[in-house]
Each structure stands twice: as structure tokens, then as C-alpha cells.
Structure 1
Amino acid sequence: MLLWLRSALYMTGWALNTVLCAIGCMLALPLPYKARYAVVSYWSRFAIWWLALTCGLRGHIIGQENLPAQAAVVMSKHQSAFETMALQAMLPLTAWVVKRELLRIPFFGWGMWSLRPIAIDRANPREASRQLIQQGGAKLRSGAWIVIFPEGTRVAAGQRGRYKQGGARVACGAGVPVVPVAVNSGEFWPRNSFLKYPGEITISIGPAIPTQGKTPEQVSEAVEAWIEAEMVRISGVGPCWPKSRKPAEIHGSNALAG
């Protein structure tokens, strides 16, 4: 019962924060882009802080020193909504690759729309690929980091989706590195679950993968190999992980909303 109450309290605060920040983004439309970005960054930081306060669920970052000095393409494991907030709070300026239908969600989608994400139509793969490469290159040239989930959607803890090459194509076309990210958030915030379990989510940032002289296929394979190997290392510590698995040993520092 306490777990349900704490999760409900989190969602109530999250919803109120989302509505207020979405209104703030709309009011800030005539202002410079950075004003709207500051509002959404606040939304992410508040959501992470509120999650720690209400549910006892925090983030723990490993490998933040691996982030390049210049904008790059981040390709991350996706198990829950936590990493969308954490990456937004962690990176200096981001441009997200999202499903176009997300922009239709009241308040949440409106705030997302104000940041001019790369919104693709997954029903038209060829057009989505063209749009991703064209807009992604422009975003990188403007100094924004591209964040993409290569498996295309959230996957449950312990599972593995099919890695797509869109992010690698953008990086190769722009000549920027790819930063792989592994995260075990699904062990504490299960896919499509209302409940959030207390604990510490690990976000592991891998060494940047150069793209010069490589094909998108080679880059994508390197990203998948690093993420999945790292997932084996950091997985098995959360309350929702199958009990038959032996917990992994995790080292590192840098608390997120600790």
C-alpha cells in the first residue's frame, strides 16, 4: 500500500509540474529558444528530485567523463521514462528524436513541441530516415546533442530489442562520435508500470565511438556490443529483476538527485 501511495504522490506532482512547465513553454514561445529550453530543463530536474523524495528512487552516473567536449549523438538503452529526464538534465543542449504522435499528448507533447524535436513518422520509414539525417545534421551543426533510443521503444529489464541504424547514420553523415549509454531503470520502474520501487538506477556512459572511416552498420554494431555488454554488468541489482539472476557489481560515483 505504501508503494502505491508513494507512486501516486509522485505522479500527482509530476502531472502538476508538467502542466505548469508546458504553459511556461507556450508563454515563452516569443522569447529566445534558450528560455524554453531552460523551462524544460527545470521540468526534468524537478521530476528527478521529486522521484527521489517521494519514491526513494535516485540515479547514479558512471562515466560522465566520457562525454566529448562537442555535440555528439547519444544512443541509449530505454527501459523507462527515467532516462529521458536524466539525459535532458545531464546534457548541455539536446535535440530528441521522438515519435510524432507524442507531440499530440496534452501539455507533455506541447512542451516537447516547443523545443523543436526531430519528430518522425514511424509509419513511413523512408521519409523518417530522410528527415532524421537531414534535421539531425542541422541540429548537430547548431551545437545540439542528438539523443536517440536505437531500439525504438522501451524494452523490459532483461530483454533486448532490435537495434536500428538511424542514429549511426546521422553521426556518420555529420562526422561526429556516438556515445553509448546503458541504463537499468527498468528494474526499479518497470515498463508500463505505475509503481516506482526505491533504489538506485545506474546510468553508464561509455567511451565515445568515432565514426570517421566507418559505415553506419559498423558503428551501430559497436554501439550495440558495448551497451549489451554493459547491461550484463550493471543489471541484476533492482527489485524487479528475476531472482534467478546473480546481482552485478557496480562501481562509480556522481549521484543524480541524490
Structure 2
Amino acid sequence: MNLLRSLLHMLFMMVTVIPWGLAVVIAAPFLSSDRVYWMCVGWLRVAVRSGEILLGIRNHIIGFENLPVATTAPAILLLKHQSTWETFCMPTLMPHPLAYVFKKELLYVPFFGWAMGRMDMIHIDRSKRAEAFNKVVAQGQRLLDQGTWVIMFPEGTRIPRGQQGVYKSGGTRLAIATGAPVIPIAVTSAKCWPRKAFIKTPGTVEFSIGKPIPSAGRQPDELMREVEAWIEAEMRRLDPTAYAAPVAS
């Protein structure tokens, strides 16, 4: 049954993203960046809703009160990354527009990537590290000033359930450069949507939002260690069976 549900969901995503992506590409030159963003979020809402109906995946949000409330209050969201699910969900859950920092290769993905390229986000060339970070700071500051929150995955890639990746300090470097606080977020999406798995299973994905951590006067590595400690401790609280120590033989 889960195989059939997953197949139907994948087909639904493919069938809907093609006309939606084309519509964004065609309409983008005539719309404001804000309108383009919400047009794309419209498809994400459809994708998430289809995940609820076809896959049986539900979201449970913890700590929503920790998010800044002012219209232009800056924030840099640093998330645990386990699957595509949180990438789709975050723009539909947050009260502010989001700007992902992502590798430019994603722009070449048919329809989905083409639509992403019309959005006001930060795509970087990872082969040019110094130039890429300067671009992140410049664009990040501009986006934060207009009330858009920047979102990054500090581990850089999807991490299997129960495992911990290497936390890189790019997000905290950006926070210190712009003066924005960082908000750590733990996500248990791999319980339902495992990394690189086609078959998804019904269940509840928890998004736990930590309190904002000020960046003023901090060092990037030291600040990232605090973010890492909070996220990993929260992951073990939310999904303890995944992090259970193996039984000694």
C-alpha cells in the first residue's frame, strides 16, 4: 500500500509541477518578486497537501512562539535536513517569505529549477568559495532588510535518520555579518520520508523551533556549536529510538 501511495504522490507531483513551473517562467517578467514567490509557494502548498492526503504525513509544529513577530524582524533559520519534505514545507509554515541558499546546479532541474530561478533567492557557485560567501552576505543583507528570512541547512545535505553530519559555519558567519539572530530548528522528517527513499510511510513529522540566538559579539564556529548542540539534543528528544545506542554483543 505504501508503494502505491508513494507512486501516486510522485505522479501527482510530476503532473502538477510542469504546468506550474511553466506558468511561473512565463509570468515572472510581469510580476513583482513577492508575487512570484507566493505563486511558487502555491505549488508547494499543493505538494504538501498531496503528501497529507496520499502519503498520510502530518506536521506538528513546536515552538512557533519563538519566531520573531515584527514585520521586518530579521532571522536566519538553521534546520536539520533529513528529506525533501522540510524543503517543501518550510515556506508554507513560516509567517515570512523565505530565501534558500542553494547550489546553482538546482537551477537546471526542469520546471522546478526553472521556477526557482525566477525567485529572489541566493544561488551560489560552490567552486568559488570566497566569491560565493560575499554574494551570500550581500544578498542576504538585502533580503533580511526587506523582511525575508534566510534559510540554510548547516549540514549541507540530507542526513540519514539517527545520524549527525558535519555542521558548517556558513549560516552563523552570515548571521554575524548581518547582525541577524539564528533560529535552530529540529525536523524528524526521515521517520516518514527517508533520505533517497522512494517509499514513504504515514506518520507525524515534528518541526521544533528553538529560541532565537543573538549573533552579536559571537564567533562563527562557537555560535554554530551552540546551534548544533541544541538541534542534536532536540533530535534525540523527538526521535529517541533512532539515536538509541546499539546493544553490545
TM-score (norm 1): 0.89
Residue 66 of structure 2 corresponds to residue 66 of structure 1: yes
Residue 159 of structure 2 corresponds to residue 160 of structure 1: no
Other-structure match for 2:131: 127
Please list every run of 5 or more consecutive structure 1 residues that lacks an aligned counterpart in the other structure.
246-258
What amino acid is the match of 1:9? L
Aligned equivalents of 1:43, 1:186: Cα separation in 2: 22
Other-structure match for 2:188: 184
Cα deviation, 1:190-234, whole Å, max 9, x if unaligned, reads 101111100001111000111112122222111111101101001
Asked if the contact 2:74/2:147 (under 8 Å) is kept, the reply is: yes
Q: Residue 101 of structure 1: which of 105, 108, 114 is its match?
A: 105
Aligned equivalents of 1:67, 1:15: Cα separation in 2: 33
What amino acid is the match of 2:20? C
Cα deviation, 1:13-63, whole Å, max 9, x if unaligned, reads 111221122122112211111221111111111111100100111111111
Aligned equivalents of 2:60, 2:23: Cα separation in 1: 29
5 Å-filtered alignment, 1:1-258, equals: 2-29=1-28, 30-69=30-69, 70-91=73-94, 92-236=96-240, 241=242
2:110 aligned counterpart, secondary structure? coil
Asked if the contact 1:165/1:216 (under 8 Å) is kept, the reply is: yes
Aligned equivalents of 1:93, 1:81: Cα separation in 2: 19
Identity %: 40
1:179 aligned counterpart, secondary structure? strand
Asked if the contact 1:48/1:58 (under 8 Å) is kept, the reply is: no
What amino acid is the match of 1:67? L
1:40 aligned counterpart, secondary structure? helix
Per-residue deviation, 1:243: 8.5
Per-residue deviation, 1:242: 7.9
Please list every run of 5 or more consecutive structure 2 residues that lacks an aligned counterpart in the other structure.
none
What amino acid is the match of 1:46? V
Per-residue deviation, 1:80: 0.3
What amino acid is the match of 2:123? A
What amino acid is the match of 1:20? P
Aligned equivalents of 1:18, 1:175: Cα separation in 2: 37
2:163 aligned counterpart, secondary structure? coil
Aligned equivalents of 1:187, 1:124: Cα separation in 2: 35
Q: Which runs of 4+ in 1 moved over 6 A?
A: 242-245
What amino acid is the match of 2:172? A
> Once structures 1 and 2 are overlaid, which stretch shifts more, 165-174 or 100-109?
165-174
Asked if the contact 2:125/2:132 (under 8 Å) is kept, the reply is: yes
What amino acid is the match of 1:141? D
Give the length in aligned residue pairs.
241
Per-residue deviation, 1:163: 0.7
Greater helix share, structure number: 2
> Once structures 1 and 2 are overlaid, which stretch shifts more, 117-126 or 64-73?
117-126
TM-score (norm 2): 0.92
Asked if the contact 2:236/2:243 (under 8 Å) is kept, the reply is: no
Aligned equivalents of 2:39, 2:32: Cα separation in 1: 12
1:192 aligned counterpart, secondary structure? coil
1:150 aligned counterpart, secondary structure? coil
Per-residue deviation, 1:101: 0.3
2:117 aligned counterpart, secondary structure? helix
Cα deviation, 1:153-182, whole Å, max 9, x if unaligned, reads 111001111111111111111111101000
CA RMSD of aligned residues (A): 1.6
Per-residue deviation, 1:244: 7.3
Other-structure match for 1:256: none
